[in-house]
Amino acid sequence: NAGVTQTPKFQVLKTGQSMTLQCAQDMNHNSMYWYRQDPGMGLRLIYYSASEGTTDKGEVPNGYNVSRLNKREFSLRLESAAPSQTSVYFCASSEEGSRIYYGYTFGSGTRLTVV
Amino acid sequence: GNSVTQMEGPVTLSEEAFLTINCTYTATGYPSLFWYVQYPGEGLQLLLKATKADDKGSNKGFEATYRKETTSFHLEKGSVQVSDSAVYFCALTGNQFYFGTGTSLTVIP
């Protein structure tokens, strides 16, 4: 099925461990995004990539790094996980020119717990 | 700057009740407005959208009208079902998407 695929779906980390969240889209979209969702906070943008080879910080980038590996893939890395990074992470993609008409397509999320 | 304010939840309704979830926005220019729905354990799905003032977006019995004079985009449904239980997010486009904090809806039989 076409869309945005995130892996893994669930992960438990110990404080200080590192991990990479993977995201891939097969809709040939130029733009990709990483959000975190926390109770009462809605969705907050961590990083985004407007096109292959570019990345920019969003609202809450501290403690994260990203890589736009190619047009399809956009990964999010936690170098040293902290309990404050316990959250649900969503990847999304859009076609820049048609975003105002079609919005974003979201993945199903990664539920991360840092203990 | 751009922002979206949604009514606080959670909202609990009986089946077949009328639903309104309020959404107001602050924006420069002429943004598009969206409602997304998130079912338990899933990602966000586009529910409906409106791209200019006075447009009405509709889908699955839900409706919302882009009101520039009141800067609002309230979500309505005439008769909710148990399957409508989800979290609803209002959003607008600027140079990026701006999301509200979400409103949880539970529909009881």
For residue A1, the model assigns a pLDDT of: 61
Chain B: residues touching A (Cβ < 8 Å)? 31-32, 34, 36, 41-46, 49, 51, 89, 91, 93, 96-97, 99-102
| Residue of B51, B96, B101, B104 for testing the chain A interface, max A β-carbons within 10 Å | B96
DSSP for chain A, written as a single string: --SEEEE-SEEEE-TT--EEEEEEE-S--SEEEEEEEETTTEEEEEEEESSTT--EE-S--TTEEEEE-SSSBEEEEESS--GGG-EEEEEEEE-GGGHHHH--EE---EEEEE-
| Residue of B44, B52, B89, B104 for testing the chain A interface, max A β-carbons within 10 Å | B44
Contact by Cβ (8 Å): A3, A107: yes
The percentage of chain B sitting over the pLDDT mark of 90, rounded to a whole number, equals 80
Q: Name B91's Cβ contacts closer than 8 Å, sequence gap at least 6.
A: A103, B4, B33, B34, B35, B36, B97, B98, B99, B100
Question: Does residue B67 surpass a pLDDT of 70?
Answer: yes
Chain A's closest residue to B50, CA to CA, is A101
What pLDDT digit, counting tens, does each position of A59-111 carry? 999 999 999 989 999 999 999 999 999 999 999 999 877 767 778 999 999 99
Contact by Cβ (8 Å): B54, B28: no
What span, in angstroms and rounded, lies between the C-alpha atoms of A8 and A103? 24
The percentage of chain B sitting over the pLDDT mark of 70, rounded to a whole number, equals 99
| Range with lowest mean pLDDT among A68-77, B5-14, B18-27 | B5-14
DSSP for B1-61, written as a single string: --EEEE----EEEETT--EEE-EEEE-SS---EEEEEE-TTS-EEEEEEE-STT-EEEETT
Question: Does residue B17 surpass a pLDDT of 70?
Answer: yes
Question: Does residue B28 surpass a pLDDT of 70?
Answer: yes
Per the prediction, chain B carries an average pLDDT of 93
Per the prediction, chain A carries an average pLDDT of 92
What pLDDT digit, counting tens, does each position of A5-43 carry? 999 999 999 999 999 999 999 999 999 999 999 987 889
